[in-house]
Structures are given as structure tokens and as C-alpha cells.
């Protein structure tokens, strides 16, 4: 079915780390038996979600859905929380972790709002002022680190740490 709708070559195929063996290895073997040109260019296997350091499970009644979370927290807070853990690692959900993520998202948007407020005072003046060398270096260094981190197995935690450093510099 996947070959019919998506072709025989997949750029990215993923799933939980518990599916590496035997599910994904069998899937690839079956596909290649039927279509020798079958290929997956990049396998991505994510970690599990734990609740307060305990594996999430319906049997221990610590199971919830994304819909449950976004009734309590903004979806961007959930996204930030998930990006704070490398995709291969288990994510440890806790209310405290989501509160911290929510605070970080608020900090980002408050910084952007404050910047917009200051810049709006000068928008109509058509002033062209170069970015000071020290600040330009911060931006250039972050851009370089961003590209390196994302190219090195999607290290989103490092990217977010660098981004927060830029925001601190802006607020300073």
C-alpha cells in the first residue's frame, strides 16, 4: 500500500524505538523482496514518553493524549517541551516541565512584543542604522551553531539553548 501511494523510496521513515526490531527490519526485508529498489534513506526512531519518570501506560492509569495536554497548556508550550528532549531520548513529562516550557514560550513572545514596541516608535523615521558588530557576531554565531546542531541528528535542545541566549542578549 505504501509503495502504491508513496513510491519505493522513502526519505524518512520513523516510529518508536521499540519498532526497530523486528517490525522495521521485517518491513524493509518484505519491501525489498517485492521491490528490490525499495529504500529508506533515513530511519528515525523516537524515545518514549514517561510520566514523572515512569513509563506512560494505560495499565497503570498514567496515560493521556495530546488533546488532554492542550486543554491545560498552549500547544506551543507542548511543542517547546518536546523539543527540549532529543527525539531519540525518552521525554519525561511532568506538570513542572510543562510549566517551565510555558514560561519559556511566554518569554519568547514577550521579547518579540517588546522589540516590536520599541521598533514601532521609529518605523516611520526611515533610519538606517547598522547592527553593532558584537550583536551581529551573536546572530552569526547562533546561525552557524543552529545549522551544525540541526545537521548533527537534530539536536534541538542545543538550538533552543542558543536561541534563549539570543533572547537574553536582546533583553539585556
Report if residue 32 sits inside a domain.
yes
Report if residue 158 sits inside a domain.
no
> In this model, does residue 123 exceed pLDDT 90?
no
Range of the domain at 12: 1-46
Structural domain count of the chain: 1
Report if residue 87 sits inside a domain.
no
The neighbour count for residue 6, using CB atoms within 10 Å, is 11
Q: Which of 46, 50, 56 is CA-nearest to residue 86?
A: 46
Q: What is the band of 131 on the pLDDT scale with cuts at 50, 70, 90?
A: confident
Distances from the Cα of 163 to the Cαs of 24, 73, 88, in angstroms? 35, 22, 21
Q: What is the band of 74 on the pLDDT scale with cuts at 50, 70, 90?
A: very high
Report if residue 12 sits inside a domain.
yes
Report the distance separating Cα 87 and Cα 101, nearest Å.
17
Report if residue 169 sits inside a domain.
no
Report if residue 159 sits inside a domain.
no
> In this model, does residue 162 exceed pLDDT 90?
yes
Task: Give this prediction's pTM.
Answer: 0.83
Contacts with 32 (C-beta within 8 Å, 6 or more apart), sequence order: 38
Amino acid at each position: 500500500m505504501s509503495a502504491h501511494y508513496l513510491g519505493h523510496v522513502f526519505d524518512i521513515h520513523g516510529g518508536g524505538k521499540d519498532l526497530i526490531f523486528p517490525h522495521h527490519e521485517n518491513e524493509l526485508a518484505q519491501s525489498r523482496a517485492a521491490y528490490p529498489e525499495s529504500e529508506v534513506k533515513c530511519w528515525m526512531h523516537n524515545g518514549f514518553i514517561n510520566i514523572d519518570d515512569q513509563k506512560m501506560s494505560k495499565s497503570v492509569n498514567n496515560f493521556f493524549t495530546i488533546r488532554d495536554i492542550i486543554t491545560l497548556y498552549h500547544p506551543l508550550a507542548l511543542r517547546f517541551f518536546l523539543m527540549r528532549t532529543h527525539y531519540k531520548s525518552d521525554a519525561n513529562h511532568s506538570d513542572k516541565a510543562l510549566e517551565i516550557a510555558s514560561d519559556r514560550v511566554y518569554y519568547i513572545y514577550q521579547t518579540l512584543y517588546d522589540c516590536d514596541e520599541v521598533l514601532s516608535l521609529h518605523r516611520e523615521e526611515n533610519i538606517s542604522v547598522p547592527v553593532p558588530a558584537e550583536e551581529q557576531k551573536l546572530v552569526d554565531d547562533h546561525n552557524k551553531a543552529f545549522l551544525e546542531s540541526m545537521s548533527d541528528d537534530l539536536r534541538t535542545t542545543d538550538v533552543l539553548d542558543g536561541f534563549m541566549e539570543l533572547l537574553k542578549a536582546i533583553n539585556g
